[in-house]
Amino acid sequence: MKKCIVVGVTGCVGAFKSVQLVSDLVKKGFDVEVIMTENATQFIAPLQFESLTHHRVMVDTFDRQHSYSTQHISIAQKADLFIVAPATANFIAKVVHGICDDMLTTTFLACDCPKLIAPAMNTKMYLNPVTQDNLCLCEKYGYDIISPVSGHLACGDSGIGKLADLDQLMEAIEEGLVKEKILKGKKVLINAGPTREKIDPVRFLSNHSSGKMGYALAKAARNLGAEVTLVSGPAQLKTPRNISFISIESANDMFQEMSKRYEEADIIICAAAISDYTPESFSTSKIKKQENDLSLSLKRTPDILKYLGENKTHQILCGFAMETENEIANGKQKLLSKNCDLLVVNSLNKEGAGFKHDTNIATLLTKEEQIDYDIMSKDELSYHILRKLEVLYAASH
C-alpha cells in the first residue's frame, strides 16, 4: 500500500517549488494529497496539483463537493507524513497557538504523523523574534523545521528566507518516514569519498570514488535515529542535513579526524577510498614538463582501518573492500587482519557496482557468516548494512 504524503501550501511566492515537490513525490510512488490556503491559490492554481496527484485539492473546510463526511479527520488519519512547504509566518504562528481557522491548519493539528514545516518569507520576518520564538515552539511540539536558505528574495532583498532546496525537502521527508529508530542514542562515525595527495600546487594523486556510498550510509544512519558524524574527502555531493560534517583533503587529514573522534563513537564505518600512498615531498612550485620521464617517490599513508581495529574498545567497526579479483578471499583476509566486525565487499568487475554508480552489489562478511546481495541502490544497501551493525552492536553489549 502506498504511503500517503500530505503537502500543505501557503500563500508565498515559493509555492511554485511545491509543484515540483509534489511531482517528485508522485514519481517516487507516494499517494499525495494537497491542501492549500486561499492565499496560496493566488500564486498557484489548484488544477496544477490535481493534474499531478489525481486528487482534488482541498482549500475550503466547508466544501460540500468532497466525498469525506469529516474531511480534515479523514485526511489526518490517512497521512503517513505531513509537510507544509512553503510555510508562511502567519501559518507558523497559528499552528503553534492552536488556531484552526482554515482547512490546512485544521488538518495539520488533527494529524499525529510526523510533521515538517519549511518556512519561506522575507528575511526580516524570518529573523523577527516573534517568528523565531514560534519556530522554537514548533520544535518543542515535535515538528521538524526545514530551515530556509539565503538568496535573492521576491521582494528584492537578499538574505535568509528562501524555501529550502527540493533535495533538502525530499531528504527531510525520507527521514520523517523512517519509523524504526533502531540507532537512537547511538553515535555513528562514517568516512566517505576520496582523498587527495598533493604533488605540487596543480596536481594531486587520487581515485574515482564519488562518496555516494558513504553519504548514503550517513543519511540512513540519521534516518534510523543515530547521531552521525561524516568525515568526507572532496566529493561533489550535497552535505546531508542534520549531521555533523567535517571536510578533509588528504589521507593524513582523514587519519587525524578519525583518530580524534573514534573513542566517542558506538559504530564506525570506513567507506572512504583513502590513498595508500602519498608523495614523499611536496613541490611548492609547479613541476615543469621536461624531455625526460618523471619519477615520483611515494610513501605509505596511515592505515586508518587497521589503527581503528587495533584500538577499538566498545565500538563496532565496519570496513569496505573494493576488489578486482578473489573478492571474497581477499575480503575475509582483510576482515581478520584489520580486526573488523563487518566487512562490505564489492567488485569493480560487476556492472552496476563500485565507483560513481547509484547502485551496488555487495557481500557482507563477519567472522561467522557471509551475506550476498543482488544489485540494489546504495540507499537501500545502507539500511541492510546498518541493521546488521545494530545487531552486532546489541550482541556485544
Q: Supply the residues annotated as catalytic.
A: 155
Q: Which of 116, 123, 126 is nearest to 146 (CA)?
A: 116
Which has the closest alpha carbon to 38: 12, 11, 14?
A: 11
For residue 212, give the nearest of 225, 224, 194 by alpha carbon. 194
Which residue carries 583476509 as its cell? 333
Go through the chain and tell me how many residues it has. 397
User: Cell 594531486 sits at which residue?
Assistant: 204
In the chain, the amino acid numbered 283 is S
DSSP strands (E only) in 95-239: 115-119, 144-145, 149-152, 158-162, 187-192, 197-198, 204-205, 227-232
Report yes or no: 362 and 344 within 8 Å, Cβ to Cβ: yes
Q: Is the dihedral of CA 308, 312, 314, 319 positive or negative?
A: positive
Report which residue type is found at 46.
Answer: P
C-alpha cell at 166: 527540493
* 85 CB neighbour count, 10 Å cutoff: 27
Tell the burial category of 226 from Cβ atoms under 10 Å away from its Cβ (0-12, 13-18, 19+).
Answer: buried
* Phi and psi torsions of 5, nearest 5°: -110, 125
Cell of residue 371, nine digits? 551475506
Which residue, 58, 4, 56, 57, is CA-closest to 30?
4
C-alpha closest to that of 39 among 132, 102, 112: 102
* Cα 189 from Cα 164, distance rounded (Å): 26
Contact of 197 with 301, CB cutoff 8 Å: yes
The kind and range of the H/E element at 279 are strand 277-279
